[in-house]
Amino acid sequence: MDHRCPDETTAINSTGHKLLKYVGGKMSIEMEIPKVLWLKNNMSSDKFRDCKFYDLVDALTHIASGKETRSFCSAVCKQGYVPVGIDGSVKGWQEDFLNRVGLPELVEDGFKRMGGIHGETGTILSAGELVGGLCKEAAEQLGLLEGTKIGSGVIDAYAGWIGTVGAKVDLQEPLLDESIPNNSLEQAFTRLAAVAGTSTCHLVLSKDPVFVPGVWGPYRDVILPDFWMAEGGQSSTGSLLNHVVTTHPSYNTTKTLSTQKGKSVYELLNTRLEELRHEQGAPSISYLARHMFFYGDHHGNRSPIADATMRGAIVGLSMDASINDLALQYYAAMEFIAQQTRHIISAMNSSGHNITTIFMSGGQCRNPILMSLIANATRLPVAIPRYIDAAVVLGSAILGAKAASADADGKTEGLWGIMDRLSKPGKMVHVTKDKYELALLDAKYKIFLQMSEDQQKFRKSIDAEIQGWKQ
């Protein structure tokens, strides 16, 4: 959510370095190298030279073990690391790239500020591989046994992938290839994990690299050695719904009413939408908002447009400031989330992926209207995990189980086998059979795409007219 470094991001992407094709074509403002460059530009040189840099998951590993072990997940996904052997990569870290973007300090002393060169000045591990044991200080703080095995971690959304896509689900042809067992790793190639919270990450595994413009990756070794991961994403989903609801004039009234009824604001709004549908004799809730067009990139676009300057827009506002209008705007925001999910999946599949099912996780799974919208907009069934709020925690536990399986030589059980054993069945949300509902969403998807394209055109036309005004 920290977008303070647009200038640094632009400068990094202007290099055209070949590693950029492994982060979706250009490095995102949300990744760590632009943030490190911002820190250099805003700190004294002496202070910057005293720094070491960790992704959160690697910082936790460091605190727990006292070691400098890093994860392929963090290094490859967020820090510009290209695994050895890919595109001529020799050390993983790209020395020429870091020098060109103005970060030679990260190259010094065998890249020690980033964790070092794997097998020489540092150690970088795949998901769940044994880091070592819990150090004495951390054991005392956590109330656990010193020496408890620690597995190499992953970015939180990737733990959500681990905690969801191994679930057994009841699919029908052609969504499930009966020639492939339901517990086979090959099934994962068709399963998109949508890990939803403040933002949403869209993760899919592949055997071979698939290059998708505007989608992060392809990343090798970040979950399973020699396999690739692609990561689409929405910069704002849960935070978007919260913003739409809490900034509306009727929010305080709605909040009071929800407290009185013992419901969340979102549950109350869902109920109100159904009441409006009944009062107006509408065939569906979507019909109520048929002439409201909401574009919700309030915090920029992560995928597939990959433009942090994108912003929100809405067409169809009236003078109504009641709870009814709040309910409609809230619905329109959910519709946007679903349409953007379709946009991301369409970009992935048109580039070579074969996504046939969405495996959701996070609190948004409790919202039946949103889940149905995502299924209907994408034309794909949505799998809801048994433990809605715990998919990331379950994924982390599976990583711990992998580390715990380490033998005397440090060799661990395969990650997918553990996922298959520990994952529980979920429930399915299927696509509606109402042809009008689907036709409406198709028509509004075209408008959604036009709104994104028009916004870019508008900005370019204005910038062209006032070029040179601000020096």
Indicate whether 469 belongs to any domain: yes
Within this chain, do residues 430 and 331 fall inside the same structural domain, yes or no?
yes
| DSSP-assigned letters across all residues of 153-202 | ---HHHHHHHHHTT------TTTS-TTS-TTSGGGGGGEEEEEESSSEEE
Within this chain, do residues 12 and 113 fall inside the same structural domain, yes or no?
yes
Answer for the pair 213, 225: CB distance below 8 angstroms, yes or no.
no
Distance CA 158, CA 164 (A): 10
In the sheet that 200-206 helps form, which strands lie side by side, from edge to edge? Answer: 216-220, 228-234, 200-206, 191-196, 357-361, 382-384, 427-429
> What do you get for the CA distance between the two ends of the chain, in Å?
28
Within this chain, do residues 298 and 177 fall inside the same structural domain, yes or no?
yes
pLDDT the model gives residue 360: 96
Distance CA 68, CA 50 (A): 16
Angle between helices 435-465 and 323-351 (to 10 degrees): 90
Structurally, the chain folds into a number of domains equal to: 2
The domain boundary, picked from 133, 151, 169, lies at: 151
Instruction: Output DSSP code: residue 51.
Output: -
Answer for the pair 125, 149: CB distance below 8 angstroms, yes or no.
no
Indicate whether 374 belongs to any domain: yes
Residue 322: strand, helix, or coil: coil
Indicate whether 412 belongs to any domain: yes
pLDDT the model gives residue 387: 84
CB atoms within 10 A of CB 228: 20
Distance CA 128, CA 403 (A): 5
Within this chain, do residues 264 and 339 fall inside the same structural domain, yes or no?
yes
Residue with tokens 């990139």: 297
Within this chain, do residues 129 and 177 fall inside the same structural domain, yes or no?
no
Within this chain, do residues 210 and 320 fall inside the same structural domain, yes or no?
yes
Answer for the pair 368, 382: CB distance below 8 angstroms, yes or no.
no
Strand 357-361 and strand 191-196: pairing? parallel
Within this chain, do residues 85 and 219 fall inside the same structural domain, yes or no?
no
Answer for the pair 17, 100: CB distance below 8 angstroms, yes or no.
yes
Largest CA distance in the chain: 71
Token pair recorded at residue 12: 């990094």
Residue 150: strand, helix, or coil: strand
Within this chain, do residues 215 and 138 fall inside the same structural domain, yes or no?
no
Indicate whether 124 belongs to any domain: yes
Within this chain, do residues 142 and 176 fall inside the same structural domain, yes or no?
no
Q: DSSP E strands: which ranges in 400-458?
A: 427-429
pLDDT in tens, the chain (471 residues): 789 999 999 999 999 999 999 999 999 999 999 999 999 999 999 999 999 999 999 999 999 999 999 999 999 999 999 999 999 999 999 999 999 999 999 999 999 999 999 999 999 999 999 999 999 999 999 999 999 999 999 999 999 999 999 987 765 544 445 555 667 899 899 999 999 999 999 999 999 999 999 999 999 999 999 999 999 999 999 999 999 999 999 999 999 999 999 999 999 999 999 999 999 999 999 999 999 999 999 999 999 999 999 999 999 999 999 999 999 999 999 999 999 999 999 999 999 999 999 999 999 999 999 999 999 999 999 999 888 888 999 999 999 999 999 999 989 999 999 999 999 888 999 999 999 999 999 999 999 999 999 999 999 999 999 999 986
The domain boundary, picked from 129, 151, 173, lies at: 151
Indicate whether 408 belongs to any domain: yes
**Which residues are registered as beta bridge partners of 231?**
203, 216
- 389 closest CA partner among 195, 257, 206: 195
Chain segment 351-405, per-residue pLDDT in tens = 999 999 999 999 999 999 999 999 999 999 999 988 888 899 999 999 999 999 9
Indicate whether 1 belongs to any domain: no
Length of the chain: 471
Instruction: Output DSSP code: residue 113.
Output: G
Peptide bond into 225 cis (omega under 30): no
Answer for the pair 205, 223: CB distance below 8 angstroms, yes or no.
yes
Within this chain, do residues 119 and 230 fall inside the same structural domain, yes or no?
no
Question: Any idea what the CATH number is for the domain that residue 374 is in?
Answer: 3.30.420.40
Residue 77: strand, helix, or coil: helix
Q: Domain of 275?
A: 156-471
Chain segment 286-297, per-residue pLDDT in tens = 999 999 999 999
What are phi and psi for residue 350, nearest 5 degrees? -70, -20
What is the reported pTM? 0.93
The domain boundary, picked from 151, 181, 197, lies at: 151
Q: DSSP E strands: which ranges in 197-316?
A: 200-206, 216-220, 228-234, 293-296, 312-315
Distance CA 333, CA 185 (A): 35
Indicate whether 452 belongs to any domain: yes
How big is the CA angle at 408 (ends 407 and 412), to the nearest 5 degrees? 25
Amino acid (one-letter) located at 308: A
Within this chain, do residues 197 and 292 fall inside the same structural domain, yes or no?
yes
Indicate whether 363 belongs to any domain: yes
Token pair recorded at residue 374: 């995502």
Within this chain, do residues 234 and 276 fall inside the same structural domain, yes or no?
yes
